[in-house]
Amino acid sequence: MFGFFKKTAPFIALVHKDLDSPKQGLAIAKPELEVRGWLAFDQPFDLSGLEIKLETAGVSLPVALEHRADVSDGLTGQFCTGFNSLFDINADLSSKNVDWYKDVQLVARWPGGKETFTIEVEIDESVAGVNSYFQKRDMSIPNTQINALAYKKWQEDGFFVINQFCSVEEVDKLKELIESAWGNRTNYSASITVDEHIGTDMEQRISFADADPGLRETSYKLNDLHLESAELRKYLLSEKLRDSLLPLIGGTPMICNSLYFERGSQQPDHFDTFFMPPLTRNQMVASWIALEDVDPDAGPLRYYPGSHKIPPYRFSNGRYNLNLDEKPQCIEYIEQQLINSGIEPLEFSAKKGDVFIWHAHLLHGGTPINNPSLTRKSLVTHYFCSEDWPENYYEEDQQGVFFLKK
Ligand SMILES: O=C(O)CCC(=O)C(=O)O
Ligand SMILES: [Fe+2]
């Protein structure tokens, strides 16, 4: 006897939906729409079968999935995924349908199921006509440190070198400060960290207080010492440096993070926006202070003049942060753009006290160390604009230095 059993796919039911952004009842004050939330189903399934779209008349925009350990860890017996994308209100939505916000929905489709939910969007009047995060925005405020000519060069090249910016005495003070921090490392809190064995499989972050001084013979990164050293902050954002950065960043510079390298970083070429995109595009700069003359075999800084003009790669979630799954496509895009624009890398042959300032979107990295016995002592600081951040996110110290809290 032949039996015929039709195998039907189990019915997958949505058991919960949650929207974090846009915040219901709160008007959006920047021309960017972040769609973020999570869904929970009654059973696991292959997420490549789940499609989420933001839909309004004449517009259908894919929303990227996001792993939400913060939610899924607290759920039992449910299968959860987050979603999170950033859209340009003008370019992605209003230009296609001026009334999009009056009737906009999030539509989720999965094998055998579909759910539509309405998103209430309120937009602040101040958003009209304002450039979004995705638009290029350079704000020139030339001053005595950076005059109009220097600013023009910055716009062309995306970097700026100020030779002998720090005096020999200042650099020696900075070196002493690092030595004394190593000597007293157990006095620092867990906010001050070391990335040991950078660029190898053994790379990991440990607390500075636990770091073995033997690490100093290898490539490591000392992170955010400025958080607990007012003395260091004075150098990383001295009045002179602040005046130089202000026209380049278009606002009041604020320390976002700081890194001390004793040896070359050998870091692959990257845009810093992969790791720390500013809240307003382009409103981030970095400074690189040479604490000694850099030997060509010590792994100098490599940079690509003019690469800041390459339109940044927007990952599928609509952001500039590096998405590891899409890294190969991003690298291919950058390589093609470099060929198209004929940009070749240069190495920075720094002398003690020189400072190299780079644009948020300048491609750079660390060249290989040919001679591991050589040090390459340098201090890197990334700066955001304080105006970009709510006041409770940053501090101003007694010297007038702004820095982001951790
Ligand atoms: O100093 C280097 O080799 C690169 C450092 C760097 O890219 C950074 O800190 O953003
Ligand atoms: Fe970098």
Taking the domains of the chain in order of start, what are their residue ranges? 14-127, 148-404
The number of the ligand 1 atom at minimal distance from the alpha carbon of 288 is 1
Instruction: Tell me what the mean pLDDT of segment 348-371 comes to.
Output: 97
Find the ligand nearest to 377 CA. 1
Find the ligand nearest to 347 CA. 1
pLDDT digits (tens, 9 = 90+) for 65-100: 999 999 988 888 899 999 999 999 989 999 999 999
Ligand 1 centroid to residue 220 C-alpha, Å: 12
pLDDT digits (tens, 9 = 90+) for 147-204: 888 888 999 999 999 999 999 999 999 999 999 999 999 999 999 999 999 989 999 9
Question: Does 265 contact ligand 1 (Cβ within 6 A)?
Answer: yes
Report the alpha-carbon distance of residue 82 to residue 64 in Å, rounded: 9
Question: Does 221 contact ligand 1 (Cβ within 6 A)?
Answer: no
The number of the ligand 1 atom at minimal distance from the alpha carbon of 266 is 3
Picking from 67, 95, 70, the residue whose alpha carbon sits closest to that of residue 81 is 67
pLDDT digits (tens, 9 = 90+) for 153-165: 999 999 999 999 9
Tell me whether the CATH fold assigned to 14-127 matches the one assigned to 148-404.
no
pLDDT digits (tens, 9 = 90+) for 347-357: 999 999 999 99
Dihedral through CA 132, CA 338, CA 320, CA 323, nearest 10?
Answer: 160
What are the start-end ranges of the H helices in 94-167? 148-157
Ligand 2 centroid to residue 140 C-alpha, Å: 23
Question: Does 300 contact ligand 1 (Cβ within 6 A)?
Answer: no
Ligand 2 centroid to residue 12 C-alpha, Å: 44
In the CATH hierarchy, which fold is given to the domain comprising 14-127? Immunoglobulin-like (2.60.40)
Ligand 1 centroid to residue 35 C-alpha, Å: 32
The CATH superfamily holding the domain 148-404 is: q2cbj1_9rhob like domain (2.60.120.620)
Q: Which residues contact 388 (CB under 8 A, 6 or more apart)?
A: 251, 278, 279, 280, 283
Report the alpha-carbon distance of residue 166 to residue 287 in Å, rounded: 12
